Amino acid sequence: MTEPILELKDVKTTVKSADGQVIPILKGINLKINVGDFITIIGTNGAGKSTLLSTIAGNLRPSSGSIMHNGADITKWNEEKRTQFIARVFQDPKLGTAPRMTVAENLLLATKRGMRKPLTLRKLKPKIPEFIELAKSMNNGLENRMNTFVSGLSGGQRQALSFLMATIKRPDILLLDEHTAALDPHTSQNLLNVTDQKIKQDHLTALMITHHMEDALKYGNRLLVLKDGKVKADINQEEKEKLQVSDLYNFFE
* pLDDT (tens digit per residue) in 234-247: 999 999 999 999 99
- The Cα 82–Cα 236 span in angstroms is 27
2-25 burial code (b ≥16 CB/10 A, e <16): eebbbbbbebbbbeeeeeeeeeeb
- In this prediction, residues 10-39 reach a mean pLDDT of 94
Q: Give me the sign of the Cα torsion angle 192, 169, 111, 69.
A: positive
Confidence of residue 141 (pLDDT cuts 50, 70, 90): very high
Confidence of residue 114 (pLDDT cuts 50, 70, 90): low
pLDDT at 218 over 80: yes
- In this prediction, residues 154-159 reach a mean pLDDT of 94
- In this prediction, residues 150-169 reach a mean pLDDT of 94
- The Cα 124–Cα 108 span in angstroms is 7
Report pLDDT digits (tens) over 41-90.
999 888 999 999 999 999 999 999 999 999 999 999 999 999 999 999 99
Confidence of residue 11 (pLDDT cuts 50, 70, 90): very high
Report pLDDT digits (tens) over 162-216.
999 999 999 999 999 999 999 999 999 999 999 999 999 999 999 999 999 999 9
pLDDT at 34 over 90: yes
pLDDT at 117: 56
Beta-carbon contacts of 191 under 8 Å, excluding residues fewer than 6 positions away, are 138, 156, 159, 160, 163, 179, 180, 183
| pTM of the predicted model as reported, rounded to 2 decimal places | 0.93
Question: Which pairs count as long-range contacts for 184-189, CB under 8 Å and 24+ apart, including other chains?
Answer: 184/156, 187/140, 187/155, 187/156, 187/159
pLDDT at 253 over 80: no
Q: Which of 204, 202, 192 is CA-nearest to residue 159?
A: 192
pLDDT at 118 over 70: no
82-97 burial code (b ≥16 CB/10 A, e <16): bbbbbbbbbbbbeebb
pLDDT at 119: 55
- Side-chain-side CA neighbours of 240 within 13 Å: the count stands at 22
Report pLDDT digits (tens) over 78-108.
999 999 999 999 998 888 898 999 999 999 9
The pLDDT mean for the chain works out to 92
